[in-house]
Amino acid sequence: MSLLSIRDLVTEFESPSGTARAVDGVSFDVAPGEIFGIVGESGCGKSATCRSILRLFGGAPARIAGGRILLDGAGDLAAMRERELAQVRGRDVAFIFQDPLTALNPTMRIGRQIGEVIRRHRDVTRAEARDAALQLLRDVHVTSPERRLDAYPHELSGGLRQRVVIAMALALRPRLIIADEPTTALDVTVQDQILRLLKERCDSLGTSIILITHDLGVVSQICDRMAVMYAGRVVETGAVREVLDAPSHPYTRALLAALPGQVGRDSELVPIGGAPPSLIDPPPGCRFAPRCVFAQPQCRIGAPPALRARAGAGEGHLDACILNEVCHAAA
Ligand SMILES: Nc1ncnc2c1ncn2[C@@H]1O[C@H](COP(=O)(O)OP(=O)(O)OP(=O)(O)O)[C@@H](O)[C@H]1O
Ligand SMILES: [Mg+2]
């Protein structure tokens, strides 16, 4: 059973030079309690995919142009009216942004901010909300939580602020947390603590996480399953151990060779030559073909290939390469 099923999602951004299909037919499932990682180069549509779930486009000229976002028990979020979706935000699904300052109101004390999240959805008094906020700060291991309740965001370090953001995300015990590079803005030493904390809290509450990250080491350590995106599409998905240990799409393999992470740590990093295609007018066929060392003429025609299981692949391990058997043999 899935908590979230995204099916054929299409999300477009309007720009002066045309309509960019930032998300072009993305499908994946997240199970209850699961941590699902999304990786891929900058601009491939990771944030656009996740922002589509709660329609949090931050004022950008974006719209969902197709597909379904099925949340167990709530229906299709893509088809919901804004008012209904506002109820889902925070209560069922919470979002953690990269920069904690964007999530916090600079003019409101921490305790009040956490309390307001609770009061927006629950009928509790200010004092009850404050007590709940205090407990949430303890849960995320904020030191001197009583004192922090009365602090303003700028009085806290980046790591503490992100703990507060996590406390706010957990305030209503959502079933899903979407974390878009939640630690990129933090010191390296703090990043690991924050991710561990997020995982620990979600494990204990049974909350699922969609985690967007550039760090394959992080995916390897904390995610259960993952998707690799390229130019608006998922090119490979499966259990983390399958995808990282036996990557089958040439893009995944190139990514593993190019990024510092568990794979390739001891070997020389090989950057991927070339650049991703435009999402306004992408080339036909496989979008990675222009950069792929295995590409054949048939890779550059028709619709982009769909995800499918390769012979011998583990359950749920899919990739979108029409040559997958051939190029695998050649590698
Ligand atoms: N505010 C915007 N206005 C216009 N187009 C946008 C906007 N934000 C994103 N896009 C388009 O959507 C594409 C995907 O962007 P998205 O932010 O989802 O990438 P990403 O994978 O999250 O990248 P990063 O790793 O840099 O965060 C971009 O390549 C761009 O074409
Ligand atoms: Mg992003």
pLDDT tens by residue, 107-130? 999 999 999 999 999 999 999 999
- What pLDDT was estimated at residue 329? 52
User: Looking at the domain assignment, is residue 315 inside a domain?
Assistant: yes
Q: Of the candidates 112, 142, 173, which is a domain's last residue? A: 173
Q: How many CB atoms lie within 10 A of CB 156?
A: 18
Q: Which residues contact 206 (CB under 8 A, 6 or more apart)?
A: 32, 33, 175
Q: Of the candidates 139, 155, 173, which is a domain's last residue? A: 173
| Residue 45 CA, closest ligand 1 atom number | 18
Return the residue whose CA atom lies nearest to atom 29 of ligand 1: 43
User: Residue 326: pLDDT above 70?
Assistant: no
- What pLDDT was estimated at residue 325? 59
User: Looking at the domain assignment, is residue 317 inside a domain?
Assistant: yes
User: Looking at the domain assignment, is residue 262 inside a domain?
Assistant: yes
User: Looking at the domain assignment, is residue 49 inside a domain?
Assistant: no
Instruction: Give residue 330's pLDDT band: very low, low, confident or very high (50, 70, 90).
Output: low
Domain span holding position 126: 102-173
Closest residue by Cα to residue 160 from 35, 152, 210: 152
User: Residue 38: pLDDT above 70?
Assistant: yes
User: Looking at the domain assignment, is residue 154 inside a domain?
Assistant: yes
Instruction: Give residue 185's pLDDT band: very low, low, confident or very high (50, 70, 90).
Output: confident
Which percentage of the chain shows pLDDT scores above 70? Answer: 95
Choose which residue among 42, 47, 50, 215 to substitute to test ligand 1 binding: the one with the highest number of ligand atoms within 8 A of its C-beta: 47
Distance CA 43, CA 276 (A): 8
User: Looking at the domain assignment, is residue 323 inside a domain?
Assistant: yes
Task: Give the distance (Å) from ligand 2 centre to CA of residue 107.
Answer: 27
Distance CA 235, CA 38 (A): 11
User: Residue 70: pLDDT above 50?
Assistant: yes
* Domains of the chain: total: 2
User: Looking at the domain assignment, is residue 278 inside a domain?
Assistant: yes
User: Looking at the domain assignment, is residue 198 inside a domain?
Assistant: no
**Which is more confident, 267 or 282?**
282
| Residue 20 CA, closest ligand 1 atom number | 31
User: Residue 259: pLDDT above 90?
Assistant: no
Q: Of the candidates 152, 173, 194, which is a domain's last residue? A: 173
**Which is more confident, 1 or 150?**
150
Helix H or strand E encompassing 258: helix 250-258
Around ligand 1, the residues with Cβ closer than 6 Å are: 13, 15, 20, 22, 40, 42-48, 60, 279
Distance CA 27, CA 19 (A): 21
- What pLDDT was estimated at residue 264? 46
Task: Give the distance (Å) from ligand 2 centre to CA of residue 180.
Answer: 7
